[in-house]
């Protein structure tokens, strides 16, 4: 089964590589590259453009095949593009929440409700009963922000790297009558455009895994929280290292590297690493939990949902990175099943007196 999927993937890779080359050529306005009637100067610049395009594409394909880690700059551009391209398809199939669902009991089939329940259950787990001003760090198209704003009758600000997500988030806020209290913008979580001590709830649901500098990310979460404010982080982590272990095994590192290429992720950290970062900030009420078992049925449901004609057609239209993302779902499943990947919840209170 896996082998045949792998062959399909390679075929798609070849197909899409071809598409990328063609796309690159047209986006650089190289018209009629093989025309014999074009002027010689434009002909030579066309052919050098073409060469550059082909070599850039070959480099990308090689890096993909070798699961090479992206530079920070490529990562940031890649994340924005990935969500720009895939969010519409996700919303069509799955709705406004781009995260796992809460599967207790495990056989529930109302997947979109399971996603909403996950937000409520995480808030309950984090002892959040009220909020006045929330920041949603890595907000997608804003499902969490709108839900929390309605739940607590509060304000919410969401940030994302994707211009498509930010404008779609604002559009949905307007449609849902929330444009006075909820808004979205393109901004980097590692340099948030907010003043210190602004929010009493700092919420980050499945975006931490994209952050290339976990310390800077944690520092920013603390900086924008009001003293005594609550920070709630739900993120993909790798397993905690055992005693005497200094790193993951080579096989584990390789699996994560392949997932990273597909989902535009940098190096992972463990839940314990986040706890250590929070301790270093002087946080109180630090609590952690592994909810891998809570979300376990989710990936199977997503894979199943992508096997209908509408999704498959949408997938082909969305391009190579979305198709690769779909393939990587199988790798995620393997990571969860082997205990390498954890669905981590971490919460704490920002100290009243800053350290």
Find how far residue 343's CA is from the centre of its chain. 13
Which residue in the set 16, 70, 89, 97 belongs to the binding site for ligand SAH (CB under 6 A)?
A: 97
> Tokens for 6?
């792998």
- 190 vs 248 by CB, closer to ligand SAH: 190
Q: Which of residues 161-190 bind ligand SAH (CB under 6 A)?
A: 161-162, 165, 188-190
What is the Cα–Cα distance from 259 to 224, expressed in whole angstroms?
A: 30
- 188 vs 290 by CB, closer to ligand SAH: 188
Task: Please say whether the beta carbons of 238 and 256 come within 8 A.
Answer: yes
Least Cβ distance, residue 17 to ligand SAH (angstroms): 25
Q: Which of residues 195-254 bind ligand SAH (CB under 6 A)?
A: 205-207, 210-211
Kindly state the number of chain residues that form the binding site for ligand SAH, as judged by CB under 6 A.
23
- Taking CB under 6 A as the binding criterion, the range among 14-22, 45-53, 133-141, 244-252 that sits at the site for ligand SAH is 133-141
Q: Which of residues 56-85 bind ligand SAH (CB under 6 A)?
A: 79, 83
When asked if residue 139 is in the footprint of ligand SAH (CB under 6 A), the reply is: yes
- 46 vs 144 by CB, closer to ligand SAH: 144
Find how far residue 15's CA is from the centre of its chain. 25
Helix 320-337 crosses helix 2-27 at what angle (to 10 degrees)?
150
SS3 265: coil
| Phi, then psi, of 137 in degrees rounded to 5 | -90, 110
Task: Tokens 């310390």: give the residue.
Answer: 215
Q: Count of CB atoms within 10 A of residue 317's CB? A: 11
Task: Tokens 């006075």: give the residue.
Answer: 180
Q: Where are the alpha helices (DSSP H) in 178-296?
A: 214-224, 250-263, 271-280, 292-295
What is the Cα–Cα distance from 137 to 101, expressed in whole angstroms?
A: 19
- Taking CB under 6 A as the binding criterion, the range among 26-34, 139-147, 290-298, 325-333 that sits at the site for ligand SAH is 139-147
When asked if residue 277 is in the footprint of ligand SAH (CB under 6 A), the reply is: no
Task: Please say whether the beta carbons of 201 and 173 come within 8 A.
Answer: no
- 159 vs 278 by CB, closer to ligand SAH: 159
- 24 vs 209 by CB, closer to ligand SAH: 209
When asked if residue 156 is in the footprint of ligand SAH (CB under 6 A), the reply is: no
Which residue in the set 46, 86, 133, 160 belongs to the binding site for ligand SAH (CB under 6 A)?
A: 160
Least Cβ distance, residue 343 to ligand SAH (angstroms): 13
- 53 vs 273 by CB, closer to ligand SAH: 273
What is the Cα–Cα distance from 134 to 229, expressed in whole angstroms?
A: 10
Residues in the site for ligand SAH, rule: CB under 6 A? 79, 83, 97-99, 138-140, 143-144, 159-162, 165, 188-190, 205-207, 210-211
């Amino acid at each position: 089964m896996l082998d045949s999927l792998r062959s399909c993937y390679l075929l798609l890779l070849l197909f899409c590589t071809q598409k990328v080359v063609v796309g690159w050529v047209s986006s650089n306005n190289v018209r009629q590259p093989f025309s014999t009637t074009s002027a010689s100067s434009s002909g030579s610049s066309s052919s050098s453009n073409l060469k550059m395009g082909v070599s850039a594409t070959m480099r990308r394909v090689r890096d993909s095949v070798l699961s090479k880690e992206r530079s920070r700059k490529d990562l940031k551009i890649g994340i924005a593009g990935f969500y720009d391209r895939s969010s519409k398809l996700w919303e069509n199939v799955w709705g406004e929440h781009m995260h796992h669902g809460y599967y207790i009991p495990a056989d529930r089939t109302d997947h979109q409700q399971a996603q909403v329940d996950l937000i409520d259950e995480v808030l309950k787990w984090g002892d959040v009963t009220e909020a006045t001003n929330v920041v949603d760090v890595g907000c997608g198209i804003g499902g969490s922000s709108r839900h929390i704003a309605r739940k607590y009758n509060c304000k919410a600000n969401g940030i994302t790297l994707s211009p498509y997500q930010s404008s779609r988030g604002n559009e949905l806020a307007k449609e849902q009558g929330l444009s006075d209290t909820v808004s979205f913008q393109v901004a980097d979580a590692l340099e948030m455009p907010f003043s210190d001590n602004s929010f009493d709830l700092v919420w980050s649901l499945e975006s931490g895994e994209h952050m290339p500098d976990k310390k800077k990310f944690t520092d920013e979460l603390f900086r924008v929280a009001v003293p005594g404010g609550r920070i709630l982080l739900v993120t993909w982590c790798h397993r905690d290292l055992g005693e005497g272990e200094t790193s993951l095994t080579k096989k584990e590192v390789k699996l994560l590297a392949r997932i990273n290429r597909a989902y535009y992720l940098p190096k992972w950290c463990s839940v314990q690493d986040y706890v250590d970062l929070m301790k270093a900030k002087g946080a109180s009420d630090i609590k952690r939990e592994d909810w891998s078992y809570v979300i376990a049925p989710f990936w199977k449901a997503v894979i199943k949902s992508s096997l209908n004609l509408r999704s498959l057609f949408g997938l082909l239209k969305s391009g190579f990175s979305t198709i690769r993302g779909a393939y990587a779902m199988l790798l995620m499943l393997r990571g969860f099943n082997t205990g390498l990947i954890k669905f981590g919840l971490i919460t704490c209170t920002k100290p009243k007196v800053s350290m």
